[in-house]
Amino acid sequence: MKFSEIIRQFGDAASNHSLINNPDYDPEITGVAAIDEATTGTLSYVEGPKFGSFVGKTNASALIFPEDEKLQAIAQERGIVWLATPDPRLLFAKAIALFYQPYRPVPEIHPTAVIHSTAKVGSDVYIGPHAVIQQGVEIGDGAIIHPNVVIYPNVKIGDRTTLHANCTIHERTHIGADCVIHSGAVIGAEGFGFVPTRTGWFKMEQSGYTVLEDGVEVGCNSGIDRPSVGETRVGRNTVIDSLVQIGHGCKIGSGCAIAGQVGMAGGVQLGNRVILAGQTGIVNQVKIGDGAMTSAQSGIHNDVAPGEVVCGTPALPYKLYLKVCAVYGRLPDMYQSLKQLQRKSKNSND
């Protein structure tokens, strides 16, 4: 694919590029690569000044830049074609899609799949070997059910949703359109509901529902539990990494991003566009406002205001956390100073 064709595919997002001044130099681009691993014929990108030094030594034939004339000049000197955009990473993601499309099986129902007679399967659906689809299940048009998927009774799966191999969808689960559930994920299993008594733990049945709105993606081996009553809900276009635990009755807004090993107890509420970094832990009933962010390994014990950035355990506002970290690093010196003051005080009293 010629570089000019890639530019045409991007449309208005690629209006600033090297072909404007040098239209005759239009190399063939055969793939994409990281800038430090790029070879002749590949397209790569630079997200910001942090990686600017790679421009002088990369073997890439084409680069996507931020709006940075210095980087453009270096590329020009090295004979590398380029295009500039306010969001290089987004454009590079679109470039990958020009060269790679994920595996999508041809619609068919494998003869080893077990499908209950009351299940409703839409058109152009793929159901792979040894999938189990129980009574009352509804599967929308264009859905993909990979091998060994188990779907419990009365589940609803939306149009064009993909369930990867070995995931399990429990009863009372509704999954919207264009969702992706990766291998090993368990959606709608019983929440952790037990009532303490004098004779032990009494199991509280989990009779609620689990709802994933349109465009939700759930990573490998993550769990989203159903509640005793009401519903656990994940808002549209929220993306969830692998090994995430979402407890019963949680309400997650739209456009959130939840990184690996996040755990949230029952009843947590996330607003829209919340970002939770890896290994964030949230206690039950906490509310996190729109646009809030946590750093890795944050422990959230109290509500977080909209737009707030919190860090540490227990979580603190970002600026306060930096001050605490600065003091923490000085604790050994402060301790020695305290011991000296204590000795001086003791000597004075003596």
Quick count: other Cβ atoms within 10 Å of Cβ 73?
Answer: 11
Q: Which string of b and e fits 271-281 if b means at least 16 CB within 10 Å?
A: bbbbbbbbbbb
Instruction: Give kind and range of the element (H or E) at residue 2.
Output: none
Catalytic residues: 248
* Alpha helices (runs of H) in the chain, residue ranges in sequence order: 3-10, 69-78, 88-99, 318-329, 331-349
Write out the two tokens for 32.
Answer: 């994409």
Torsions phi, psi for 90 (to 5 deg): -65, -45
| CB-based contact 256:272 (threshold 8 Å) | yes
Q: Which amino acid is at 222?
A: S
CA angle 94, 92, 34 (to 5 degrees): 135
User: Contact, 255 vs 235, CB < 8 A?
Assistant: yes
